[in-house]
Structures are given as structure tokens and as C-alpha cells.
Structure 1
Amino acid sequence: MPVKEFKLPDVGEGVAEGELVSWLVAPGDRVEEDQPVAEVETDKALVEVPSSYDGTVEELFVEEGDVVPVGDVIISFRVGEDDGDAGGEADGADAAPGDEPRGEAEGSEPGAADADPDAADGDSEPATSSGRTFAPPSARRLARELGVDIAAVDGSGPGGRISEADVRAHAEGGGGDDAGDSGSDEAPAPTPTDVGSGGRKSAVKKRGEDGSAGSASTAAPSAGAPEPAGRETTLATPATRKVVRELGVDIDDVPTDETRDGEAFVTGEDVRAYAEALESGTAADSATEPEPVDVDAGGAAAGSATAGAGATTGTGVTDADATTGSADETVPYRGVRRTIGKQMERSKFTAPHVTHHDTAEVDALVEAREELKPRAEEAGVRLTYMPFVMKAIVAGLKEYPYLNSELREDDEEIVLKKEYNLGIAVATDAGLMVPVVEDVDEKGLFELAAEVSDLAARARERKLKPAEMKGGTFSITNFGAIGGEYATPIINYPETAILGLGAIEERPVARDGAVVAAPTLPLSLSIDHRVIDGAVAAEFANTVMEHLEHPLLLLTQ
């Protein structure tokens, strides 16, 4: 039966690559067209990737956490089979002529997968029970290495999804096969991927297939990296080559046990491990750990001069020990976090920022909200201060349109926007996201409250669509919700202004010669000084404050 490859589609407007966060299917699973098969994080949002086929998952080509360019193959499906044939026949006789699966290297013999039983053992899972098992390739590989029946593992993730930690816990709890049975001649039962393969084998040769690197300890080049390989040809995906460029290593020197079409194949994991080994000075050494340094009573090292150089004066602690005890944690700088960084850098180093600070006395606003809250609750809406602020901002933008503009440097023109689309910054686990509320001038307070609440909730759940974060003309950041009074917000380029809101709290206010406590709202307005003068910014802030201090004026908008 034919095998169809599925490439990572363009999941957003102009998105060039995405990080595969999690697989929603596993080899052997039956899928339908438009069923989500993976979650992919782009530089804008987390999106689900739907299948284009009805069929059975044949193979996953990408690990969770890998950054994949748009257009790269991520998964393959067996199509043209009935539900009852999902398991397939072992002879694979239904494979369409001329439609060889991607998994078979060009020019290889049809029976190559059967010619080396040891190779098959290295990549086979123990027999699994019937039914769907949700586990990523990394967890399945670990299960094979530990001799664990993946179907017997209790998954702790959503929908019973199995993680590597679940596999290890199952193995430590006695769920793995007895190590003493390794000499048995009985071959493991075929995995869902193997059934009906017709002798196919993956184009990528997994570590351990040749029997020389099948153990967990050699599954990846780690702490003590081997000597540089010095190959003439090395295969790698574009994403891996990008990692090579970023880390500044020679890809032909990166050790690997994987091959593709007879050539060495390097993954991003291999590159990072090799770079770390180079940095620690162990790339040219063997996998042995450094000898401990013996220090005598006077503090002198008893070992060689080289060993003595690694000892801390007067102690028995080596530099390696100190590093191990205080190792820093590294977090990938990619996805939404990298996009935020690039956007902030571009804005800060393109637009000359000036920040204007002021404070609104909002007694009347607090009273107006309290009066309207019961009515809002009857309508199923939670009324916050944000809709009032949004309407006040629109009043200011209508009077001072340069704050609702965009500077097009190449065309040497300033575009004064006639739409009032306000971006609302939302703090999420992945970083700051700015969903956009469109046509604020045409919506009422309750409608705005409901829309802001919906967008903020979906932003935190990573369910926003890329289009919902585009088209803003002015942005708001409410750092007062976390705590604080004033800040210097960075403009959401190419917009020309952003308003920061402090916390509404009672503060000392001078009234009629006396100091009294009154609710106030601190405001921090950042502007692009190429387009907006300081005086215009102050006048805009005064207009916003006037509408917040006298909420009835919002009825005129």
C-alpha cells in the first residue's frame, strides 16, 4: 500500500520554521484527514498541524523539540487501507509499484532489513498490546533500550501521553524485562511500524542497529566526546546546519553513529553535545572521567602538574567539581521568546524612545465601574478597568492621530491610521503576547470586556491564531496588574506609541490645600520621537486622563 510523506505546512503568514512541541499521534495510529497530528510553535503562536490524509501513521521523522523548516517531511502515512487492515500483512504485498516508502534507502536490497537480525533487534520494541499508545519517539526509543513494554506504561501527560520519565519510572518499578534474558533467541514482536513493512527500513539508521552502540550509555555523544571524526561528507537537516553555524563548529568533525544513504548523518543533539565537549576541553579526550586530585596536608597536589592545576588552593575541590556543583541551566532561545527579543531589539534600536509619565485621579472611574459591575455580571461579563482605558485612548487618538500612525522610512511618509486596533499585552508562560482588539471605537464597554477576556485566556493557553496578533495601531501594557507604578514600555514596532498602566491604588493627593488619600492610576506613555513631539504626547495623555477622571465623557465616543 502506498506511503505518503507529509511536510510541515506554512502554519502562519510568512513563517519559515517551527519547533515541533509534541506529537499527538504515534506509529501505528489510525488518523483521519484534518485530525491534528502535532503541535508546532512558531515565532507567533502554538498551532496544531492537521493531517492531509486518511490512513495509518507509518513513521515520525522529527523529534519533539526539533526546529523544522517549512517544507521538511515530518511524518509519513500508509494510505489506501481499510480500518481492519491497519495492522497490515507482514509481507507488505499491497505496496504500490514505483511508490517506495521514504524509509528505504535508494539502491538498497529489498531484503536488507531481514539480512541483519541484530540490526532489527536494535530498533524493535517489546511486544505491545492492542490499542493506541501515545508516546513520542524519544520515549519509545528509551523503552526499547530499557526493555520496557511501552503499552504497559502509565502515561502522566494529557490523554495518557507517555513521557521518558514515565518509562524510567516503570523500569525502576520492575516493569522492564529481566536483563538476564538478553541471551534469548526469541525476537521481539514487531512494532506497529514494522508490521506490513515488506522489508522496508528507515533511511536513518538508528544508534545501536549495528550492535556496537545499542546501549543507553552510547545512545548519544555526551560528556566525554570522542575525537573529531574528520569526514569528507556529512548529511544534516537545514535546522541542524543552522545550529552548526550558531555554535561555530565543523560539522564534519561532529561524532555520530547514524547514517543516511550510506553517509554520516548528524542531528542537532550531536552538534550541541560536541560543542559542549569542545567548550569544556574534552573533545579530544576519551570518554573517561578525570582522575580525582589528591591534595596533601600542605595543600600541594600529589598528582601530576596537569592534575594539580585543577585543584583549588588549600582544598581538595577541583574545577570540574566546582562546575558540577554550580552548573548553570540553559534554556533554548527560540520560538516566541526569540521573536519577542528580536522585536524589542528592533524597536529599541530603530525608534528613539521618549517616555512621558503622569497620574490620573480616578475616583469617578472606580465608582462608575462599581455601578456597572452588577449589570455586566447579568450579561455574563467580568468588567475590568481595561475597557474604560481603551475607550479613553481612542478619544485621545482621534484628537492626536500621530499616536495612531506608522512611519514608513523607505517611502519617507507617515501613515495616519483610520482604524483603532488596540493591542493588549498578555503575560504567558512562553513570554509576552499581544493580541489585537479591532475597531475599538465601534464597540461598547461590555463587548470590549468580553473580547479582552477571551483573547487573554487563549493567549495564556497558546491558542491564539497568528492573525489575531496582527494589525495593531496602538498598544497597552498593564504592568500594574502584577505590581508597580511607572515603567518605560518599549513600543510595539512599527507602531509609534504604547501606554503602560500602573496599579490603581489609593495614594496621597493634594486637594483644596489638604493631602487626602484617593485612587490614582499611574500612566507611562512611550513615543517614537521621530514622529511624535513631547508636547503632543503630553496633550494626548491629558485627553486620556480627562476621560478617565470624567467617565461620562466616554459616552460621547
Structure 2
Amino acid sequence: MAVKEFKLPDVGEGVAEGELVSWLVAPGDRVEEDQPVAEVETDKALVEVPSSYDGTVEELFVEEGEMVPVGDVIISFRVDEEGEADETGEADAVDEAGDETAAAAESEAAADEASAEPGTADAEPEPAAADAEPETPSGRTFAPPSARRLARELGVDLAAVDGSGPGGRVTEADVRAHAAGDAGGADAGGAESDEAPAPTPTDVGSGDRKSAVRKRGEDGSGDAPEPAGRDTTLATPATRKLARDRGVDVDDVPTDETRDGEAFVTGEHVRAYADALESAAATASTGGGSAEPTPEPEPVDVGADAEPAASDAAGDAEPAPAGATEAGGDETSAPESGDETVPYRGVRRTIGKQMERSKFTAPHVTHHDTAEVDALVAAREELKPTAAERGVKLTYMPFVMKAIVAGLKEHPYLNSELREDEEEIVLKKEYNLGIAVATDAGLMVPVVDDVDEKGLFELAEEVRDLAARARDRSLKPAEMKGGTFTVTNFGAVGGEFATPIINYPETAILGLGAIEERPVVRERDGTSEVVPAPTLPLSLSIDHRVVDGAVAAEFANTVMEHLETPLLLLNE
């Protein structure tokens, strides 16, 4: 058996990190190659990450909801290797740690070395832990990462916890209940608090990688931990944000992990260090015997953008964490008013950045007009039975797409891209229309390629398929690229006019209001009269650096002409 670490792969072009939304497996689960093990949300879409190995899940290194850079280890597996004599897999860990090559070459010597876990001070508890929990799935402790982290923080041995979840899985409630029932053994100065708890099966065989830091107070003291005081520390943006929120410096956070020869700090390290500081601060504030005076922590508004005060003197007291409260130092995630905090990342963050870039790069001008679409409504009603016979639900969108292509052919500057660095405007010869779709995660824009080469029924079916897959987050990143013009249908929700933001680097976007009967003026028998008629409001936003207002109005007129006289669409 060998332990194989699996890194977050590049799940899409240009994606640098992703949020691990959910684990689809747990430690001890048997997996096959290409079996999905996790769901990861990138700034493009929600994707499933498949395993590269046949084996058993050994350990999960990332919590659900954590941002993970591409290339970071997220999970490890125990993989069968032909000819491997050591069933515990410890020999592989020794090899990976760089122990003597002679010991790795001889199986007998490797077996002797296997009893010592690399990087540990005391090798005696390791064989006992391996013996106490066999490597068969039936001997494993099943628990999600959050429960494992809580167990480490509370000093609870997961192997001793009775799980109440499905299949005997240990939940956070089980861990807390076990810790409460064993309160006597958790007192400071107890014999059991002088050493780290016995590792769970997932703690064995991971080489130099560690998935936890020492828990607060495990050495029997309530003193604040010594800051590491490094000059350089590697950490993900999410970890650095957590450190700022907890009021600690990542360079001070203790860690045994390294990446490329530099210290590497995870969110778990930050939490453990911040908890230890809070404990020390609480002890000092209640007269708990701290040698240095600790200032009383000030109440902190989580919504405030305040940095904790820090001292440059070596003997000064540690600063109180930003997330601490006078009541007990627990980290808060929302103000006391009950406001809810929602992470700004994934698709929502991408939408925000794209809108910001577009609005502050391209000077927007929006042209509004209204098409009288009596003939369009009649044409759709006439074609609906034929479409239904072919299994197609015919909406107005294919008609609008064809009308847009007619307008783009006559006014090519609206189907263009301004390349500022090259100081040139590229007039696109393809007509790939992006269709904005509202989803639970935000607005997504799948692209229908070559609209000019497709018929109404084909467009209707493709739009339906793309919209459905956008809503269930199964679109591929490539299906949201290559657009030359975008359509957004806010009328489906309600409303007449809007000022849509251009899908940069495109040059224009057309917004559709709701088709409803509105009063219009019609000429009849030489007189004018106001009558109800179905109308379609249009809102066209343009990049004024490329398109003038007069050209925008002419484009809108061409689109309306084809909508008001659907027979013209036969030429498209």
C-alpha cells in the first residue's frame, strides 16, 4: 500500500483557484479512477473533480467552503502497489521523507523503519495507533473534515467516539458530546493533556504533510504561544483573509509545513494560533497569572475595516484577536444585529469584477426603443404546433436572435471588439450570441455559436439546452466563451426598459422587455387612434468609443424592422 496525494487540477482555462463546495467521499471510502470525489466552484462554473487513483480515501486536507489554489493537495489515497510488502504504508512515508536509501532498498530494513512516523518526537505511540485501528474500512473512523478539526481542537480521540450519523459516521455533535462526557480528563495538568491524542487512521502515512496543528493548551499551560516571527510565509488568499479577520500575523503563526522550502500556513494553523491567543488573553483579563499586562479587548464590529494594534517590543503582550468578544473570545461571523454574511466569491465575484471592468472601461450609452410585434406574435403562434411535433418549445428568442444577426450584418461595428493595446477595432465575421441566464449562483452567459447558420427550431432547442445546463451548473467553461454580442431578457422577470452592462470586451448588448399589450397610435381610414397592441421594449447599450449613437439607433431600427415583419427573417 502507498499513500498518494492528489492536487486540485486545472479545471478550466485561466482558473487559478476554486471553492471546494462539497466532498463526495469520506475517509475510508473506496474509490475508482475517474470517480468524482469533490465539487469545486470556480469563477466559471461548478465542476466535479475526479480521482486519478483506484484505492481508499486516506485523508481530506481541505474544508468545505475553503478556497483552494490550483496545484494544492486536497486529498490523499491509499493505493495498492504491486510488489509492495509493507501493508501499513509507513515505508512509503519514510521514503518520501528522504530517510536513508539503504533502509528504503531493503524490505526488512524498511519494515524496521516503518514504526517511526517522520517528523514526530516520540515514535512509541505510532505502532499502537496503527494496531488499535486496522486499515480495513471496517476499522476506520468515518467523520467529515469539520468533525475531525473539532476533535483536534477539543483533544478528542475520534476512534473513541460513537458515531450517530449514517453508517456510524461521527458528527460534530458526537464530538462535543464525547468531550463534555470526558471533561475530567481535559482539565489542565491532567496526564492525558501532556501528549497529543492518538492519531486517527487518516493521520497515518501522509509523510511530512500535516493536516492539524497542536491544540490549545495541550502542554498544560495557558500561556500565549511564542510567535514564529518569520520574514516570509506562504499562504492562500483565503488563509491570509482569515488571519486578518482573527487579528493575527501569518508570519507569527507556527507551522511545520513547507512549500518550496518556505513555511506554509493553512487556515487550520491560523485558527489554532488565534484560539491560543484568545485563551491567553482571557486568562490574563481574569487574573490568570500572566506576567505581562494584557489590555482589555475592545468590542469589535465585524463589519468595520479595522486592523488590530500590534507592538514592536519583544516583551509586549500579544494583541487581542479582531474577532474576539469580551464574553469569551469566540469568533463572530455577523454583527449582533443578526445580519447574515455571505462569501463573495465564485461566479458571483466573477460577475462583479466583469461588470466593474466593463463599466469603468467602456463608456456606456443606452438607446431605448419599442417594436410593435403583432406579426411576430402571430408567426410564433402559427409555428408552435409544427415545433411541438418536432419536440421543440418555440419561444420568441430565436426570432430576436435572427433579427439581431440581420442588424449586425448591416452595422458590423456592433459585432466588434476594441483592442486598446494594439489600437485597433476587430470586426468579427462570426455571429456568436451570448444569452444571459439567471441562476441561483448569478447571471451566466452561455454562447450560441454561428447563429446565422441555424434555423429557428435549431436555435430554440440549443437555447433551451444551454439555459437548463446553466441553471444546474453543468455548463463547460468553453460554452461561455467566444461571444460577439449578448442578449439579456429581463422582461421574463418583469419590466420594460433597463440599462444593461456590456459583456466586455464585446461592444454592445441588447436588453429585452416583456412582450405585452400597450397603447399604440395607429392610422386607420385617414385618422389616428390609440389601440392596444403587443409591443417589445428594447434597451441597447453600446461602447461609445466604438459606436456612435446614430449607428446604435440605425441598428435598433433594423432589428425592429425584422421583428415587425417576420418574413424578412427568411433571408437570415
Q: How would you bin the TM-score normalised by the shorter chain?
A: 0.7 to 0.9
Residue identity matched to 2:235: T
Structure 1 residue 320 displacement after superposition = 8.6
Q: Secondary structure at the match of 1:547?
A: helix
SS in 2 for 1:462: coil
Residue 138 of structure 2 corresponds to which residue in structure 1?
130
Write the mapping of 1:370-409 to structure 2, written as runs, cut at 5 A.
370-409=381-420
Deviates more, 1:510-519 or 1:534-543: 510-519
Q: How many angstroms does 1:96 deviate by?
A: 8.0
Out of 470, 473, 476, the position equivalent to 2:481 is: 470
Partner of residue 472, structure 2: 461
CA distance in 1 between counterparts of 2:536 and 2:438 reads 20
Shift of 1:81: 4.4
Q: 1:232/1:188 Cα in 2 relative to 1: closer, same or farther (>3 Å)?
A: closer
Cα displacement (A) at 1:204: 3.9
Q: 2:30 matched to 1:30?
A: yes
Residues 366/226 of structure 1: CA separation in 2 closer, same or farther (3 Å cut): farther
Match of 2:460 among 434, 449, 464: 449
Q: Does the alignment pair 1:98 with 2:95?
A: yes
**Correspondence 1:308-347 to 2 at 5 A:** 325-347=336-358
Q: Which residue of 1 aligns with 2:451?
A: 440
Q: In structure 1, how many angstroms separate the alpha carbons of the residues matched to 2:362 and 2:542?
A: 8
Cα shift readout 1:365-390 (whole Å, capped 9, x = no counterpart)? 11222222222222222221111111
Question: What secondary structure is seen at the aligned counterpart in 1 of 2:146?
Answer: helix
Q: Note the C-alpha offset of 1:420.
A: 0.5
Tell me the CA shift for residue 410 of structure 1.
1.4
Which residue of structure 1 lines up, in the alignment, with residue 171 of structure 2? 167
Instruction: Kindly indicate whether the alpha-carbon contact (under 8 Å) linking 1:384 and 1:449 is maintained by their aligned counterparts in 2.
Output: yes
Cα pair distance change 1:4/1:288, threshold 3 Å = same
Q: 1:526 aligns with which of 534, 537, 541?
A: 541
Measured against aligned partners, the alpha-carbon deviations of 1:90-130 in whole angstroms (never above 9, x if no partner) come to 5x46648734599xxxx999254864759999xx9999983
Give the fraction of aligned pairs with identical amino acids, expressed as a percent. 68
1:398, distance to aligned residue in structure 2 (A): 0.8
**Is 1:205–1:259's contact at 8 Å kept on the other side of the alignment?**
no
Instruction: Indicate conservation of the 8 Å contact 2:29/2:137, yes or no.
Output: no
Question: How many pairs does the alignment contain?
Answer: 498
After superposition, the C-alpha distances for 1:280-312 in whole angstroms (9 at most, x for unaligned) are xx9898237999xxxxxxxxxxxxxx99999xx
Corresponding position: 1:287 with 2:282:
yes
Secondary structure of the residue aligned to 1:286 is helix
| Cα distance change of structure 1 residues 270 and 485 upon mapping to structure 2, 3 Å threshold | farther
For each residue in 1:503-548, what CA deviation from the matched residue of structure 2 results, as whole angstroms up to 9, or x when unmatched? 1111111112221221111100000111111111111111111111
Match of 1:556 in 2: 571
Q: Give 1:39-438 correspondences, 5 Å limit.
A: 39-81=39-81, 89-90=87-88, 92=89, 95=92, 98-100=95-97, 110-111=116-117, 112=120, 115=123, 117=125, 130=138, 136-142=144-150, 152-154=163-165, 167-168=171-172, 178-179=181-182, 191-193=200-202, 197=205, 202-208=209-215, 211=218, 229=227, 231-232=229-230, 235-240=233-238, 242-243=240-241, 251-252=249-250, 259-260=256-257, 266-268=265-267, 286-287=281-282, 325-438=336-449
Assess, with a 3 A threshold, how the Cα gap between structure 1 residues 15 and 449 changes in structure 2: closer, same or farther. Answer: same
| Root mean square deviation of aligned Cα | 4.7
SS of aligned partner of 2:237: helix
- Structure 1 pair 10–148 and aligned structure 2 pair: CA distance change class (3 A): closer
Structure-1 separation of matches of 2:341 and 2:513: 33
CA gap of 1:540–1:81, structure 2 versus 1, over 3 A, is same
- Secondary structure of the residue aligned to 1:62 is coil
TM-score normalised by length of structure 1? 0.75
Letter of the aligned partner of 2:35 in structure 1?
Answer: Q
Counterpart contact for 1:127–1:190, Cα < 8 Å: no
Deviations 1:340-387 (A, max 9, x none): 111111111111110000011111211222222222222222221111
Going from structure 1 to structure 2, the CA distance change for 1:485 and 1:264 (only over 3 Å counts) comes to same
Structure 1, unmatched stretches of 5+, are: 219-224, 292-305, 311-318
1:295 equivalent in structure 2: none
Q: CA deviation at 1:251?
A: 2.2
User: Is the 1:57–1:78 Cα contact (8 Å) retained in structure 2?
Assistant: yes
User: Does residue 1:509 correspond to 2:535, yes or no?
Assistant: no
1:202/1:416 Cα in 2 relative to 1: closer, same or farther (>3 Å)? closer
The corresponding residue for 1:302 is none
CA distance in 1, matches of 2:127, 2:220: 11
For the Cα contact (< 8 Å) 2:230–2:251, is it kept in 1?
no
